[in-house]
Amino acid sequence: MATEEQYLDYLKRLTAELRETRRRLDDARQRDFEPIAIVGMGCRYPGGVRSPEDLWRLVADGTDAISEFPADRDWDVESLYHPDPDHRGTSYVRHGGFLHDAADFDPAPFGIPPHEAQAIDPQQRLLLEVTWEVFERAGLDPMSLKGSEIGVFTGIFYNDYASRLSRAPEGFEGMLGAASTGSVASGRVAYTFGLKGPVASIDAACASSLVAIHLAMRALRSGECPLALAGGVTVMATPGPFVESSRQRGLATDGRCKAFSASADGMGWGEGAGMVLLERLSDARRNGHEVLAVIRGSAVNHDGASSSLFAPNGPSQQRLIRQALTSAGLSTSDIDVVEAHGTGTVLGDSIEAQALLATYGQDRSAPLWLGSVKSNISHTQAAAGVAGVIKTVQAMRYGVLPKTLHATAPSELVDWSSGAVSVLTEPIAWPDTGKPRRAAVSAFAVSGTNAHVILEGAEPGDRRALAAGGADRVLPYVLSGQTEDALRAQATKLASLTESDPADLAFSLATTRASLRHRAVVVASNRDQVRAGLQLLAAGETGADVVRDEITQGALAFLISGQTSSTVGRELCATFPVFASAFTEVRAHLPEDTGFAVEVALYRLLESWGVRPDFLLGHSKGELAAAHVAGVWSLEDAAKLVLARENLARALPRNGVMITVQATESEVVAQLADGVGIAAINGPDAVVIAGDDAATRRVAEHFAALGRKTEPLRVTHAFHSVMVDGMLAEFGAVARSVSYAEPTTQIVSAVTGEMATAAQLMSPAYWVRQLRDTVLFADGVQALEAEGVTKFVHIGHGDVLSRAAADSVTVNATFVPVLREDCAEVHSATLAIALLHNNGVAIDWPAFFDGTGARRVDLPTYPFQRARFWLRDPAV
């Protein structure tokens, strides 16, 4: 029988399991109802709207964006219009909300050939540009998201770009079907950006974009994706919607939506594109993303078997509102304003208003305010709901409710006395209720689909705080474009932003923008220098601290000096903690050898910024530094070898010299005599001779007499010559006393001029040879060239080694000295990073800016260089 103690243990386990079960249920419930953050927005709408800020200015200023038929789509606008609604094949309306540049596109940033761009539906092209901008506005590099599980949900229902053609133009057969199919729209976005989350193109008529948002929220809450794009797009490639609606007499004669107005006489057709980037609120806060607003809840339903498939249904709209509020955990009195469907049709507006009065209009002390962005831009169809969302988010941020145009006298068909609902006939301040700002957005489709979302203003802690300002330091200001014109255009746009904190501007450029083919960096330490550099770039010019280049293919190698000045490193130590830490650690083992410490610390600094070489080549003592950073020795063992090298050399007679001679190897060999030899071959005509003082100087004097350059090196001993023979045995004993490991980075041997094997580098005998034999640096550089290296970084002080290496290669290569003799250390290191970035080396920019205090600020989005892409019907 079970004892009392066993029963007690059983009850404890049961209680623990019940608590765990309850916790899991609570977590699941929280996920199902967690608010969804809007962390990015982008759009195109009538009236020249190219951003959420543009849309806000348009509605805040009460702008009417309605215009005449577009003249860029091969529409026969003269024959299209006829005032008689019964006249076949014509429209009694010739105005609407149009994107007059809908035919324009910049395929270059997306890697799309111009010929293919011609075949792609302009709706899909718009989605690509707007999505790019959404990512940038959210502080995400669009090109860095490849492989991520981001979802894409897009509302779209026109498919007339290809179908309007009587036959495929020459060269386009087989290209138009998929390129113009609505189902491909979301897939093209995912394909272009390399996104692997759930994807769906949604045709729910005029509710499409809100249904897309609803589905995206579901995907986020269920864990199908960490981020989701949602929105919609509409471009009318033909005037068919106007002709069809004219037969139904459903259009306003002037093309304007007079929502809830006594003068309402039908809707106006419009175009646009809008996308939002969504993320679970908890994830957005954890990831440091700015929260523009949150979506508390949403609902989608259908009218069912109502009076007509194409007529709205009041009871279904009321049911929809209550469903959305339930999902948000709110009541009708919690909502301050509704961005209505509000198309301006007599039947639709009256049914919608009555549903609002019956729900939101009851049991409230203050009226529900009612507006419609369609009064500004007309009915943008699959992009309409998301237009209302973007407008409402902006209204929350600015604390203003814009007026609804054309609604000076509310519709007499609505019993406004039945509830507390008022149309926004004038702009007002957002009501101060003591609660978060909350609003709802509606969309009702001709198919009977209804959608409703509940928005809430972001909490103060979710909004990005004003930047505190970064440290006063030389920084890189990184720009790029897929074309030269785009690069210059970006510089022009940025030149007006130089009043921003310089560190914030530099950080935002480096971390939130794509790195494209044409690259430029301004290296500057203050606003005036930044502005001057940007102005140079805008004019297509460069300067000492304004560097430009294009991405180059090829591997990266570090060239490590054998001699580095003992005076360098102080400024780097004071600015970069990683450098200071590595430098201090090496000096603890080698108090007297600053050069080795600088070389190792520079390597660690570049490594911390994400710059890791494919190959290493060390010159003389620099090969010991290369072996250490590649993992052949621990720092303790590397220091033991370096110290032995120096101490043993001090015991030798000081009658040796090393001299650089401008001559070829064969010319020098012909002049050699006893006591002098070749210590290093650095280039085709750069040879270092070393040995007995008198004998070595005689050889140098021979070449000086021929007008060749000669220069004695500042060294205490003639390494790589007969002058070190007396220390080789003892140095070999030290080499045998240390531990070895296989290198983690491929090293080119300066002893053989070829790729070193692990066995060579782990052999004490090799390091004895390395001390005595000629440094075959030029051969090593040529071996790197054979391995496909096109980018060389000189780790050390000065650019002598870089210039020697440049003379040894036959291909176009880039040589970057990290520490220049004529430049302050931090400035030089920053310029080096700029040059590497321009040549396609990936930089860990957040790590580079660590410690500056820099924060993300809003920047102009990519300056698309758009050109016309519009297929013409061969018959036309």
Q: State the pLDDT at residue 459.
A: 84
Q: Which helix (H) or strand (E) holds 185?
A: helix 184-193
Per DSSP, what are the bridge partners of residue 594? none
DSSP string, 640-696: HHHHHHHHHHHTS-S-EEEEEESS-HHHHHTT--TTEEEEEEEETTEEEEEEEHHHH
Q: What is the DSSP string of 753-768?
A: SSBPPHHHHT-HHHHH
DSSP, collapsed to helix, strand or coil, labels residue 549 as strand
Q: How far apart are CA 812 and CA 22, in angstroms?
A: 66
At residue 651's C-alpha, the angle toward residues 645 and 653, to 5°, is 115
CB count in 10 Å sphere of residue 702:
17
CB 210 within 8 A of CB 453: yes
How high is the pLDDT of residue 289? Answer: 95
Q: Are 425 and 403 in contact (CB under 8 A)?
A: yes
**155: amino acid identity, one letter:** G
Residue 467: what pLDDT?
A: 42
C-alpha angle 691/620/555, rounded to 5°? 145
Q: Are 703 and 672 in contact (CB under 8 A)?
A: no
CA 579 to chain centre: 28
d(CA 677, CA 795): 27
Whole-angstrom Cα distance, residue 343 to residue 373? 9
Closest CA to 510 of 816, 832, 828, 849: 849
User: Using CA atoms, how far apart are residues 58 and 786, in angstroms rounded to an integer?
Assistant: 60
Q: What is residue 1's predicted lDDT score, i.e. its pLDDT?
A: 52
Instruction: Give this prediction's pTM.
Output: 0.90
Written as one string, the DSSP assignment of 348-414 is HHHHHHHHHHHTTTSS-SSPEEEE-THHHH-B-GGGHHHHHHHHHHHHHHHTEEPPPTT-SSB-TTS
Note the pLDDT of residue 3: 73
Phi/psi region, residue 788 (left: phi>0; alpha: psi -120 to 50; beta: rest), is left
What pLDDT score was predicted for residue 84? 95
Cβ neighbours, 10 Å, residue 417: 8
CA distance 106 to 110: 8
Q: What is the pLDDT of residue 309?
A: 78
> Helix 728-737 and helix 764-772: axis angle, to 10°?
150
Q: How many helices (H) and strands (E) does the chain have?
A: 32, 29
Nearest residue to 368 (alpha-carbon basis) of 358, 378, 376, 377: 358
In one letter, which amino acid is 848? F
State whether residue 337 is helix, strand or coil.
strand
Q: Report the C-alpha gap between 815 and 799 in whole angstroms.
A: 9
Give the residue numbers marked as catalytic: 206, 341, 379
Sheet of 546-550: strand order equals: 475-481, 518-524, 546-550
Please give the average pLDDT of every successive group of 10 residues along the chain, which has 876 residues: 70 75 60 89 98 98 97 91 95 97 97 95 98 97 96 95 86 81 94 98 97 98 97 97 94 96 96 98 96 97 84 92 97 97 94 96 94 98 98 97 93 94 96 95 94 94 50 87 96 84 93 95 93 94 92 95 83 96 96 92 98 97 97 98 93 89 96 95 96 95 96 89 95 98 98 97 98 97 97 93 93 94 94 96 96 91 96 82
How many CA atoms lie less than 13 Å away from 404 in the CB half-sphere? 32
